[in-house]
Amino acid sequence: MQLQDILFSQGFGTRRVCSGLVQQGLVVVAGVVVDDPTADFAAAGLNFKVQGVDWQYHEKAYLMLHKPAGYECSQKPSTYPSIYTLLPAPIRQRGGGAAAGVQAVGRLDQDTTGLLLLSDDGKFIHRMSSPKHHVPKVYEVTAKHAVDDKQVQKLLSGVVLDDDPKPVKAAACVQTGPNQLTLTLTEGKYHQVKRMIAAVGNRVEGEGGVGGLHRSRIGSLDLPADLKAGQWRWLTGGDLAAIAGSGK
């Protein structure tokens, strides 16, 4: 694969821009400056530097982001900054064209924190998002009022939301504190956690009247303890295997 095409596929700009980066001596492969845009390399697993920054070729992008509060999962946010501003420009521009870059796998509200997956693989996004695949998602919930066993049992047996007469229920629900729950869902309706908690007479609300909802796991993949809010990283093969083994 020509080096200029490798850079283009990884989001470093148009083919003309990528060709220019190479010609200007700004691309290093295996410790050697390459100034020929048409130089061929085996793309799979290729490590290179662009303007001094280390990169590795990925045919498809699979990322995790620790979403902080105060960010919208939208390319065109209305009030708060977009989560996509937390990613390097090449990842936002991968592939070029109108549908360039990675997309969030589902959405988290601006005040919800935690594990968010992103990819440019449409099949992966569909599989992870579709309720047909029952991929479990685990949320740590802080409620405004004290939680009791009656509320827990209602969440497990099913509650009716205002847009669907069919009850929705938690796959698992464990009280972890006076006002705290760990809630596992296998479908992703709009504002589902907040609406389910409201349906049992309580409210998702953290300290100071804000937040209170954190996604800690998707499938068998936990949000790493060392990934701080606002940070991202590539998913490893083990991460993808943990996700692939979840759902139906």
CATH number for the domain harbouring residue 113:
3.30.70.580
Of all residues in the chain, what percent carry a pLDDT higher than 70? 96
* Cβ atoms of residues 142 and 204 within 8 Å: yes
Please provide the DSSP assignment of 166-183 as one string. EEE--SEEEEEETTEEEE
Domain count of the chain? 3
Domain assignment present for residue 166? The answer is yes
Domain assignment present for residue 102? The answer is yes
pLDDT (tens digit per residue) in 86-137: 999 999 998 765 567 899 998 999 999 999 999 999 999 988 887 777 889 9
d(CA 192, CA 106): 12
E strand or H helix at 221, and its extent? strand 221-222
222 noted as active-site residue: no
113 and 230, same domain (yes or no): yes
* pLDDT score at 245: 63
What residue numbers bound the domain in which 39 lies? 3-56
Catalytic pick from 40, 109, 149, 226? 109
pLDDT (tens digit per residue) in 24-61: 999 999 999 999 999 999 999 999 999 999 999 999 99
Of all residues in the chain, what percent carry a pLDDT higher than 90? 78
Domain assignment present for residue 30? The answer is yes
* pLDDT score at 247: 52
Work out whether the CA dihedral 192, 195, 196, 202 comes out positive or negative. positive
Domain assignment present for residue 131? The answer is no
Domain assignment present for residue 78? The answer is yes
Q: Mean pLDDT, to the nearest integer, of 215-220?
A: 94
119 and 239, same domain (yes or no): yes
Among candidate residues 41, 56, 71, the one where a domain is terminated? 56
* pLDDT score at 99: 60
163 and 202, same domain (yes or no): yes
87 and 156, same domain (yes or no): no
CATH number for the domain harbouring residue 197:
3.30.70.1560
